[in-house]
Amino acid sequence: MPILDIELVGVVPHEVRRGLAQRLANSAGEVMGSRPQGTWVKLRYIETSAYAENAGGPPENAEPVIVYVLQSELPQGTELAKLASELTAAIARVCSRPVENVHLIFEAAAAGRISFGGQLRT
């Protein structure tokens, strides 16, 4: 049930945008071992002018990718570190961005606090 909320900052060429959400869902689903239709992706594009870092950042052409990851259960320790590394690499590849520009934020486990179609998932 992973849900990825992905924000791409900066210029995204048309050829990269075409089918990008589907490619991201497929890549993330593969990394996360999801069943078909088991990984969902929401994708937003943010203009460079709508992104800033304190003290005059970001560095020129940084164009970060910020990914919020929601899962039923959050892996722990080395499993989480492995997931972070593999998911970052997959997203960077699909978005044509450097790995160092992809940032993951793992949300608290969703089990017991998320509902699909009115059915609370435990």
Secondary structure percentages of the chain, helix, strand, coil, to 5: 35, 25, 35
Strand partners, 8: 45, 65
Superfamily of domain covering 3-121? Macrophage Migration Inhibitory Factor (3.30.429.10)
Residue 1 pLDDT: 84
Residue 59 pLDDT: 77
48-79 pLDDT, tens per residue? 989 988 988 777 778 999 999 999 999 999 99
Residue 57 pLDDT: 75
Residue 58 pLDDT: 74
Tokens of 114: 């998320």
Domain boundaries, the chain: 3-121
Residue 44 pLDDT: 97
| Beta carbons within 10 angstroms of residue 9's beta carbon | 20
Positions of the chain with pLDDT under 50: none
CA atoms 68, 71, 73, 74: torsion sign: negative
Residue 46 pLDDT: 96
Residue 87 pLDDT: 98
The CA distance from 92 to 16, in Å, is 12
Helices 77-95 & 20-32 angle (0-180, nearest 10): 160
